Amino acid sequence: MFFRWDWLRPVLTAPIVPTLGPVHPDALSVGIFEDTLRAADTGHFLPYDKDRRWGGEKDEKVLRDDVVHQREHTLIPTLSRRGRGTVKVFAYGLRDSVVEEAAELAARLAAAHDVAGARVVRPLGPETTHPRGTRVQLKDFTAGPCLAPDGPVRPVTDWPIAVQETFTPFAEAMATDGLTFLHTQMQTGRCGPVLAAAVEDHIVGAIGPMEVRPDAIGRAQLMPQYFALLPKTRGQGLGRILWRAAMHWGQSHGAAYQLLQTEVGGPSDRLCQSEGLAPLGFTHTTSA
């Protein structure tokens, strides 16, 4: 075993695992960290990796020979060749000085691997004051019923053809939110249903794909979705209706929970907080 759990566990202020992202606190174990090292050797997806559903090969991998694992802090670097390439160093430690050491390691490894990006990812606990970056939240479907909302939301394929055809310009307009990628996956039939809101026979919002898969300990997880709403339609409650429709779908299809990542202070963040999700912590990413 590479990692010592008695060293790593005290500095895991938030349930963030390199190359995997947030995991349920119950699934957080030394085994899941060990799994990421094995995946780095094979280049394959782990069975419970959320990115596995898109196919292909795993792009990001742990640089296991450069891991720094000590009693008071652990630095785990990863490498992605996507675009111009990026090295990320996940900095686990209670002292702020861990960020400086992680930045030095990220810069050195970026140069060694000839990639353009060098970043430090620091998980922070839910008690963090004045947080920045990304908030990690938990929706527990076992806590109570998720009722179907009353609104103009249904799967894209359930809308009339004329309405379905408006998804293409909607996706193009929301390209920065990942909707063009999602649209491509929808066209190939390789993803679950996408829920869409329509106003005056035009799609103005969407959330999906809707898929439930087992996590590292076999619990059913509603997988992360793309979520977008045309700016001109915001403030009318459509985003909340879409989100609640997605939660109803997840609970109805056997999901035990969902993990959500939202930009601190953004519209989705405010929505999730108002819906009473449990905070698990934050991730703050900086350039090295």
pLDDT digits (tens, 9 = 90+) for 221-234: 999 999 999 999 98
- Whole-number pLDDT of residue 288: 92
Q: Is the pLDDT of residue 35 over 90?
A: yes
What Å distances lie between residue 43 and 34, 61, 207, 268, 279, CA to CA? 14, 7, 30, 33, 32
Query: What mean pLDDT value characterizes the chain?
Result: 95
Q: Is the pLDDT of residue 100 over 80?
A: yes
Among 40-44, 91-95, 181-185, the range scoring the smallest mean pLDDT is 40-44
- Whole-number pLDDT of residue 189: 85
Q: Is the pLDDT of residue 1 over 80?
A: no
Tokens representing 98 are 């861990």
Q: Crossing angle for the helix pair 238-252 and 267-274, nearest 10 degrees? A: 60
Calculate ∠ Cα 84-12-48, nearest 5°. Answer: 60
Q: Is the pLDDT of residue 279 over 90?
A: yes
- Whole-number pLDDT of residue 41: 86
For the chain, which domains are there? 5-133 (no CATH), 143-255 (3.40.630.30)
User: Tens of pLDDT along 69-82?
Assistant: 999 999 999 999 99
pLDDT band per the 50, 70, 90 thresholds, residue 55: confident
Percent of the chain scoring above 90 in pLDDT: 92
Q: Is the pLDDT of residue 88 over 80?
A: yes
Outline where DSSP puts E strands in the chain.
16-17, 21-22, 61-62, 68-69, 73-80, 86-93, 117-124, 134-140, 153-155, 195-199, 202-208, 212-214, 220-222, 226-229, 257-263, 278-287
Among 42-51, 85-94, 183-192, top mean pLDDT goes to 85-94
- Whole-number pLDDT of residue 221: 98
